[in-house]
Structure 1
Amino acid sequence: MAKIKSKFICKECGCESPKWMGKCPDCGEWNTFEEVAVQKGKQSGPGKSTGIPALRLSEVQSSKSDRIVTKINEFNRVMGGGIVKDSLTIITSRPGGGKSTLTLAVSSDVAAQGYKVLYASGEESESQIKNRADRILNQIDSKIWIISDTSMDNVLRHIDEIDPELIVIDSIQTFAFEDIDSRPGSPTQTMECANALLKAAKSDKKPRAVIMVGQMTKEDELAGLRALEHLVDTVLIIDSDRGEELRGIYCSKNRFGSTGEMGFFSMTDKGMISIDNPSEFFMTRREGGETVSGSALTVVKEGSRPIIVEVESLVSKSFTPYPSRTGECIKRDQLNTLISILEQRGNLSLFDKNVVIKTTGGLKLKEHSANLAIIMSIVSSAYNKGIRDDTVFIADVGLTGELKKVPSIELRIRELDRMGFKRVFIAQNSAGGIKTENINVIEARNLKEVISQVFGVRL
């Protein structure tokens, strides 16, 4: 093996240094030097053949990668339909987000299908892994092997001996090669370990699936060089708030599926449970047509999937000169903007009222398609009148009070049809050629029209 050394490169300007420096002498930025590996040894000179022929693209045979489809439906979704057998995946989240819990559940599911799994942990002992398995798994399959070690040399040796179809590394920043003079977690060690796992995954003789757990920085980014994200096939990010039950898995990169896909899980004592029907999870089903003031429904799009979400509002008397504006599901600036639109364009005075907004299930509202529902939930709470439980609002609201079109409106309305809703308010001229027999699609020009039709008031 060629001797591997390291150097330090400023990620801002590219300045190179043989040692780490706190301040870059070229650009003047602080703490921007990152360690990278430099391999020195005999290399092919100019003009020397490497033995790999060039091929015409038109003559290359395309292949469909085989997948291991698990019984964890939301995991399959973000992976693009299952685990590709010759792929490299990395999962990251904040501490306690559920990375180890999810990978252990996936390992158990894959082993139950007859595949051999090697689970290597550099952070936990064998007994800690076993305790988690006893808690979240119904049965521990005999085809799961575990290693508690930080030596990548030892992991590669066990890969050759056990010959697993799935390899789990928890976490990649804790492993190191013995012959590289660098600490575990350094860019040099992390990239060398990842490259070794890439070779194991892409082997012509025995393709394997590799899932690596990656640590997250305080800026909520994957720790290490950006090259690590470029190296892998799939990047999954678990989004969670401390103490919250809901876990969202976002796919920021996928060479075998749709980038931007989103999956939802519920963190319980039995592990991460797949939420197979999010629309049921993120709204409250009330019996007998019961209505509750402050509740309104909308449809958001997470990845390629429409999800029905309930927005709840509470408007109360303020006894201070500055009423509070609290939005657990949206940014405060966005909430203040919507309240200003409602006051000016909806003739509703809220200068002496506290306003609190949240969603059922704690889902963050990232789309402007939910703005009309947010406003209508505030109106419902202020009027103390409930909205019919078969009514949904899908539109953005401009500063003029006019309703604005949102993308994928047909997809959203079809989800409402599937869930049995009867009435939906959208922006004017946005329905297009949608044909609906079960849903009354109401196109409105502005906010006043919607408030008047829903609550029967004249503005």
Structure 2
Amino acid sequence: MKKKTLYRCSGCGFESIKWLGKCPTCNSWNTLEEVVVELKSMQTRVRQASKKPIKKLLDVVSNKSDRIVTGINEFDRVMGGGIVKDSISIITARPGAGKSTLLLQISDAIAQKGYKVIYASGEESDSQIKNRADRILDKIHENIWVVQETSLDNVLDAVEEVDPDMLIVDSIQTFTMEASLPARAGSPTQTMECANALLQIAKTEKRPRAVIVVGQMTKNDELAGLRALEHLVDTVLIIEDDNDEELRVLVSSKNRFGSIENGFFQMCEKGVLSIDNPSEFFMTKREEGEIVSGSALTVIKEGTRAIITEIESLVSKSFTPYPTRIGETLGKDKLNTLISILEQRGGINLYDKNVIIKTTGGIKIREQGINLAVIMSIVSSVKQQGIESNIAFIADVGLTGELKKVPSLESRVKELERMGFKKVYVPKDSFIRESSFKKIQVIELKTLMNVISHVYNH
């Protein structure tokens, strides 16, 4: 038999494939001693699924509705209605974005529904996980088990012992399998062997389990490791964040069980809170009749959902030859383009003005349908005349100053009507069925100058 070298703690028996100064389990210093052990053959460790008979596709039973609904609305939405019971998902984010916190909240949510969860961590000790749970959970449920381990073989043994409905592995780059030693943790060999073993755990026909894996993120904000890891899993989730903002966006870049959706969360002391009504979160609440200059409202599309978003602008006198152009949630090149359109096609000079643009709530803008709202917020700031808070703008603006159509216009207008808006400006000939809307006036105009004149009665 092959042999390998391990480091074993003389105090508690913890084993590691490399020497550590401090034992992560009992916190003792200089207690890890080198030992030589025999390596079991691969056949004794690989858990093989029983051979499945061939079936006609017509005879296969679909399990679309077989999901675990967590009750965390934004997470369930991104997952397509809940976690599929025989699925494997991977979630990644920058350090401190809240992925471990979110997973602990998910564990608690499904534990309260009677499901058993194992939370296996190769990065944090069980006491660290317990401290986080004490901070964000009202009460720790008895259906949650914690495994502080870097050997996936031992985690799989714990799965056989507890028989959980969900397994969380945080993070896969810290785990190893005995059959793949001496390859180090995080290497392509170890990562893919661990991922394939977890796939077998999830896809067992007699005992399906949901598996969620944490993947580390590179400095380029991409999932670390081989692209094959993304192909292997059913769902790929990314938490986007700005370090100085509370907003967290859960982005689904792949989902075999639903459409590609985004979920919105707010980071606070009690964890990651689901923003169940984003349209309220991304605009400022004002009293009826209260009008503020430099604000314009629009509707963006995030996945299949329409969300009302407030664009804020500040225009001030510049005392330097080169005015400042800042777009906190908008690309600088795009902002300069819109300013040029406004100057040339809207008749408003900004050559000696600083222009700053941001969105309420810090949501990043990725589409063209907000361009008219951006320009109108600048116009409002220049004129120091506010726009009524029940008016919205949905259109792209071309270099000619003409309004351009945007996709899913009707669903955007429906969201405005749901939220009590009275008017919306859209491009001419948008082919929108005005008869579908009883409580909102749809105003179709051809050019930017037409919109400015109509809003300010010129």
Taking structure 1 as the reference length, the TM-score comes to 0.88
Query: What's 1:452 paired with?
Result: 453
Q: Distance in 2 between matches of 1:152 and 1:216?
A: 20
Relative to structure 2, which stretch is displaced further, 213-222 or 337-346? 213-222
Q: In the TM superposition, what is the alpha-carbon distance from 1:205 to its structure 2 partner?
A: 1.9
Which amino acid in structure 1 is aligned with residue 237 of structure 2?
A: L
Aligned to 2:401: 401
- Looking at structure 1, the residues matched to 169 and 113 of structure 2 have their Cα atoms a distance apart, in angstroms, of 20
Shift of 1:433: 2.1
Q: Secondary structure at the match of 2:249?
A: strand
- Corresponding position of 2:249: 248
Instruction: Give the 5 Å matches for 1:366-377.
Output: 366-377=366-377
1:410–1:431: 8 Å Cα contact kept in structure 2?
A: no
Which residue identity is paired with 2:442? V
**Are 1:150 and 2:134 matched, yes or no?**
no
The answer for the alignment partner of 1:166 in structure 2 is: 166
One-letter amino acid matched to 1:300? I
CA deviations 1:365-406 (Å, max 9, x no partner) are 111000000000000000000001110000000000000000
Residue by residue over 1:108-141, the C-alpha shift from the partner in whole angstroms, topping out at 9 and shown as x without a partner, is: 0011111110000000001100010011111100
Aligned counterparts of 1:178 and 1:107: Cα–Cα separation in 2: 28
In the alignment, what sits opposite 2:18? Answer: none
Deviations 1:181-219 (A, max 9, x none): 200001110110011011001112210000011101111
Residue 199 of structure 1 aligns with an amino acid whose one-letter code is Q
CA-CA distance at 1:53 after TM superposition:
5.5
In the other structure, the counterpart of 2:77 is: 77
What's 2:128 paired with? 128
Within the alignment, does 1:196 sit opposite 2:213 as a pair?
no
Matched to 2:423, the amino acid is: R
Shift in alpha-carbon separation, 1:284–1:446, aligned structure 2, 3 A: same
CA positional deviation for 1:57: 3.2
**Alignment partner, residue 417 of structure 1:** 417
Per the alignment, residue 32 of structure 2 pairs with: none
Q: 3-state DSSP class of the match of 2:443? A: strand
Name the SS of the counterpart of 2:64 in structure 1.
coil
Please give the secondary structure, in 2, of the residue aligned with 1:263: strand
1:65 and 1:85 in contact (8 A); partners too? no
Local SS of the residue matching 2:288: helix
Classify 1:51/1:274 alpha carbon distance in 2 versus 1 (closer, same or farther; 3 Å). closer
Shift of 1:432: 2.6
In 1, are the aligned partners of 2:230 and 2:236 still within 8 Å (CA)?
Answer: yes
Query: Is residue 348 of structure 2 the alignment partner of residue 321 of structure 1?
Result: no
Q: How does 1:328-339 map to 2 (within 5 A)?
A: 328-339=328-339
Deviation at 1:160, TM superposition (A): 0.2
Identity percentage of aligned residues: 65
Residue in 2 aligned with 1:293? 293
Report how far residue 285 of structure 1 moved.
1.7
Residues 174 and 184, structure 1, Cα contact 8 Å, conserved in 2: yes
Q: In 2, are the aligned partners of 1:424 and 1:440 still within 8 Å (CA)? A: yes
- CA deviations on 1:317-363 (whole Å, 9 max, x unpaired) are 00100001000111000000000000000000000000000000000
- The Cα offsets for residues 69-100 of structure 1, whole Å up to 9 and x where unpaired, read as 01100000000000111000100011111110
The 5 A counterparts of 1:372-383 are: 372-383=372-383
Distance 2:251 2:210 in 1: 20
Cα distance 1:191–1:427, how it changes in 2: closer, same or farther (>3 A)? same
Q: What one-letter code is carried by the residue in structure 1 that aligns with 2:207?
A: K
Q: Please list, as runs of the form range in 1=range in 2, the aligned pairs for 1:144-293 lying within 5 A after superposition.
A: 144-180=144-180, 181-259=182-260, 261-293=261-293
Partners in 2 of 1:305 and 1:131 — Cα distance? 36
Q: How far apart are the structure 2 equivalents of 1:243 and 1:400?
A: 38
Verify the 8 A CA contact 2:393 2:426 in the aligned structure 1.
yes
Q: Secondary structure at the match of 1:399?
A: coil
Separation (CA, whole Å) in 1 of partners of 2:112 and 2:157: 24
Deviation of 1:60 after TM superposition, in Å, equals 3.6
- Secondary structure class of the residue paired with 1:320: coil
CA distance in 1, matches of 2:296, 2:102: 33
Q: After TM superposition, give the deviation of residue 51 of structure 1 in Å.
A: 6.8
Give the Cα–Cα distance (whole angstroms) in 2 for the partners of residues 299 and 63 of structure 1.
35
1:206 counterpart letter in structure 2: R
How far apart are 1:61 and its partner, in Å? 3.9
Q: Give the corresponding residue for 2:11.
A: none
Q: Distance in 2 between matches of 1:219 and 1:369?
A: 28
Which residue in 1 is equivalent to 2:113?
A: 113
Amino acid at match of 1:186: S
User: TM-score scaled by structure 2?
Assistant: 0.88
- Residues 1:113 and 1:56: Cα distance change in structure 2 (over 3 Å): closer
Confirm or deny: 8 A CA contact 2:42 2:179 kept in the other structure.
no
1:364 Cα offset (Å): 0.6
Residue 59 of structure 1: CA displacement? 4.2
Please tell me whether the aligned partners of residues 299 and 370 of structure 1 are also in contact (alpha carbons under 8 angstroms).
Answer: yes
Matched, 1:351 2:351: yes
- Give the superposition deviation at 1:58: 3.6
Q: CA deviation at 1:40?
A: 10
AA of the residue aligned to 1:306 = A
**Kept after mapping to 2: 8 A contact 1:409/1:431:** no
Q: Unpaired runs of 5+ in structure 1?
A: 4-38, 42-49
In the other structure, the counterpart of 2:342 is 342
Distance 1:344 1:245 in 2: 38
Q: Distance in 1 between matches of 2:51 and 2:263?
A: 44
1:442 is aligned to 2:443: yes
The residue type equivalent to 1:441 in the other structure is V
Please tell me whether the aligned partners of residues 245 and 266 of structure 1 are also in contact (alpha carbons under 8 angstroms). yes
Partners of 2:316 and 2:343 lie apart in 1 by: 15
Question: Match of 2:389?
Answer: 389
Q: CA deviation at 1:456?
A: 1.9
